[in-house]
Structure 1
Amino acid sequence: MGAARARTSPFLHNTPIMKSERIDKIVGVPVLFKCEHLQKTGSFKVRGALNSAILAKEQGAKGVIAHSSGNHGQALAWSAQKIGIPCTIVVPKNAPQSKIDGMKEYNADLVFCDASVISRETVCAEQAEKLQYYFVNPYDCASMINGHASIALEILEQAGENIDSIFLSVGGGGFASSVAYLVGKLRPDIEVFLVEPSKKQLSNLLENGVPCPMDTLDTMADGVRVAHVGTLCEPILKEFCTGKIIGVTEDEIKEGLKLVWTRMKQRIEPSAALAFAGVLYHKPKHVKNPLVILCGGNVDVDYVI
């Protein structure tokens, strides 16, 4: 994980930490926000994507390919453009237009598919074989997980002595497992809580081995619509996050989004508001100094007009 940080840090931002006195009063405790929506391409995804693209190029890959509803695709497209290799992204038809536009701006070739995990994976596998490109899994991928770890290292450097917990949104689990593993090893006194759309039922998987019956979630938080975590991620999350899963409703996500937009003037996306909603509505009583990772800021323009 340290090697991945050294490999990628010259290209990326060390994103700032912010706070709001008004939000502190509403929540009842001081809340810190790690502003990863201000990262290159507008989300944390670029940390893992850049690490993956650099390693792929070093291994002689002709290009890179992934399936994505937006943030991973933009991150991989930017990374490929930065280091000079081709990139193709398989995109579900219901992806936000702003994220589709972002991928195009980074010169990615887009192939559209149906809005299901099965369709995404099938079409992506077909394209990868046809093009002979290196597949970069959005979450179930060691190079992605290792690349994401740099955000946890930054948090510990910036605020490690001032927090007792970290709240982050969980989708496929790559980001969550990276933060949970590193913080669990370096600072086990800091709890890592995973916030999910309530229908995901990750706690049922970690505690009882029962996966979510759906493969795609119907949620405004488009970055976390995948209902299942990756096979590499599941044992890590089971070890470090069992009993620390928080489910939130769509209305709670909306209210968290409004509060950050109006009080902090930060244009985060719903997937980032998801993590804040966990603190705003479901913070465990023993938590006194939480930090929320605002994971992305790629808001579909149609959503706000």
Structure 2
Amino acid sequence: MPQTYIKRILDARVYDVARETPVQEAALMSARLGNTVWLKREDLQPVFSFKLRGAYNKMQRLSDAERQRGVVAASAGNHAQGLAMAAQRMKVKATIVMPRTTPTIKVDAVRGWGAKVVLHGDAFEEAAARAQELVDKQGMVYVHPFDDPDVIAGQGTVGMEIVRQHQAPLDAVFVPVGGGGLLAGVAAYIRYVWPDTRIIGVEPEDAACLKLALERGRRDKLPEVGLFAEGCAVAQIGKEPFRVIRDTVDEVITASTDEMCAAIKDIFEDTRGIAEPAGALALAGMKKYVEREGLSGRQLLAIVSGANTNFDRLRYISERTEIGEQREAVISVTIPERPGSFRAFCGALGRRNITEFNYRYTDPERALVFVGLSITPGGDFPELLAELRDSGYECEDLTDNEMAKLHIRYMVGGRAPAEVGDETVFRVEFPERPGALLKFLSGLGQKWNISMFHYRNHGAAYGRILVGVQVPRGERGQFREVLDRVGYRYWEETDNVAYRLYLGRAGK
């Protein structure tokens, strides 16, 4: 079946606007992983993403009558830029519907290419529904970002270039997955030319629509998707990509937000280029795969698919990078409240570097400290915890505790006074846009008292709140109904160990 795409890919019209991007060895990453790591630099395209290829190839195959009607697309940004540039080059009117969560840098870039931008919804599916309305009402031609054979063929030229540039077969190729167009095109070509090369798709943990489809044997829709890697924030894999992927791809693996952040740093250190989260996804997956399989001496390639990210998002990325690289651990430790105890604790840590230390007086007998530590991937961190506990310290590992990393580390020292009763704690995530925070507060109403609140703008596509509300036990079901009506993702954290240690009522 992939053979049907070979001629499409060879005939694809992309080089009027796209460039043949280099395959570059990542020397530092190669040394760290013990394998030769290659990066396919699609972040170097004129629109800083591979999406230009598929969009232009599709536009080339429209009839004159279709071009006269104008084109419309839904996109989180990269397909939008590719289509906008293609439309400008071909003098075709283009309208792009983008989720309101799309980074400003992508919205401005689309407008810069002369396209009309319509901001609608919080995710791709809502934007796509609005684009379809424009097709129905105005007769415009819809150019799908991934579920179209001509788009897939355009993206497949990435695979064609990899084969031509590397010449000898690679051991494995890692491809980021959103709707599946890039993976389908690359896999179809490489599977045909290099049948023994492993082809591995990589998805965000919170937007793993291909993983879901492969597990169930059919295309199902995720109830919700994470927005950090907005370029891959798709709830359902494309129909045509899935048909191709099932016959050509060996497996799909997922990467966490922290792992993507670490991969962004890895790419920067080797290339001085700054990938967007989706652009670093393939490398994050490669690192997990190498560790899982214990590989060494292999030839591995990851596609760096894009570099369209807001500058202020780098603050959040840098905060999460060390944990994503397994180079920082976060722990809570109880030490005696007496002179010299901090010095003794540092002595127990040995020569390990302390990256963060948060403390506030708790009671006359003991002190709780929130500690960040530099660690070595695969090192002796578990042994360190055991040694601390053997030395009489109470320790909690908070490295994988989202509430601790997102909120507690910025709030340490805020234990609730004794009179704060019935405090229920929730962590809330919502699309970052004007009015979103007000919508949340208005939705809660005035029936219950807010006893704690922490919000921090991370420069990302979504905002995060930690909120404590005094809700009598008999009204908690009613309160959850209110949260459900507000419509934001939430998690109850009342029993979270980090909350109980640092923010809960004294003595509780």
Q: TM-score range by the shorter chain?
A: over 0.9
Task: State the match for 2:103 in structure 1.
Answer: 96
Post-superposition CA distance 1:100-149 (Å, at most 9, x none): 00100001111121113442222111112233211011111111011111
Relative to its length, the structure with more strand (as a share) is 2
Check whether the contact 1:116–1:216 (CA below 8 A) recurs between aligned residues. Answer: no
Higher relative CO (Cα under 8 Å, sequence separation at least 6) belongs to 1
Q: Which residue of 1 aligns with 2:242?
A: 234
Residue 304 of structure 1: which of 314, 317, 329 is its match? 314
Q: Secondary structure at the match of 2:145?
A: coil
CA separation in 2, counterparts of 1:80 and 1:14? 20
TM-score, normalised to structure 1, is 0.93
1:12 maps to what in 2? 18
Q: Does 1:293 align with 2:303?
A: yes
Displacement after TM superposition at 1:261 (Å) = 1.3
Deviation at 1:15, TM superposition (A): 0.4
For 1:279 and 1:118, the matched residues in 2 are separated by 29
Q: 5 Å matches for 1:270-285?
A: 270-283=277-290, 284-285=293-294
Rounded to whole Å, the distance in 1 between the matches of 2:181 and 2:253 is 17
* Counterpart position of 2:214: 206
Asked if the contact 2:24–2:41 (Cα under 8 Å) also holds between the matched residues in 1, the reply is yes
Distance (whole Å) between structure 2 residues aligned to residue 198 and residue 9 of structure 1 = 34
Counterpart residue identity of residue 230, structure 1:
G
The TM-score, its normalising length taken from structure 2, stands at 0.57
**1:116 and 1:215 in contact (8 A); partners too:** no
Range with greater deviation from structure 2 (166-175 or 178-187): 178-187
- Contact 1:268 1:294 survives alignment (8 Å): yes
The answer (yes or no) to whether the contact 2:54–2:151 under 8 Å persists in 1 is: yes
Secondary structure of the 1:8 match is coil
Name the SS for the 1:114 alignment partner: coil
Radius of gyration: which is bigger? 2
Whichever residue aligns with residue 41 of structure 2, its letter is C
Structure with greater helix percent: 1
Kindly indicate whether the alpha-carbon contact (under 8 Å) linking 1:80 and 1:86 is maintained by their aligned counterparts in 2: yes
1:215–1:227: 8 Å Cα contact kept in structure 2?
yes
Answer whether contact 2:8 2:150 (CA < 8 A) is retained.
no
What is the aligned counterpart of 2:115 among 108, 121, 124? Answer: 108
Asked if the contact 1:13–1:39 (Cα under 8 Å) also holds between the matched residues in 2, the reply is: yes
CA RMSD, Structure 1 to Structure 2 (Å): 1.9
Q: Verify: 1:44 aligned to 2:54, yes or no.
A: no
Q: Is the 8 A contact 2:176 2:278 kept in 1?
A: yes
Give identity over the alignment, percent: 29
Q: Of residues 142, 146, 155 in structure 2, which corresponds to 1:135?
A: 142
> How many residue pairs end up in the alignment?
304
1:259-274 paired onto structure 2 within 5 Å: 259-274=266-281
Choose the corresponding residue for 2:187, options 166, 180, 193.
180
4+ residue stretches of structure 1 with deviation over 4 A? 1-6, 210-213
2:327 aligns to what? none
3-state SS of 1:31 partner: strand
Counterpart residue type for residue 238 of structure 1: R
Q: For residues 3-57 of structure 1, what are the alpha-carbon distances to aligned partners after superposition, in whole Å with 9 as ceiling and x for unaligned?
A: 5555222332110111232111111101000100001211110000001112125
Is 1:126 equivalent to 2:136 in the alignment?
no
Asked if 2 retains the 8 angstrom alpha-carbon contact of 1:67 and 1:89, the reply is yes
> What per-residue deviation string (whole Å, max 9, x for no partner) do you get for residues 150-198 of structure 1?
1111100001305221101000011111111111122211111000112
Question: What residue ranges of structure 2 are gaps of 5+ in the alignment?
Answer: 1-5, 316-508
Change (3 A) 1:135 1:219: same
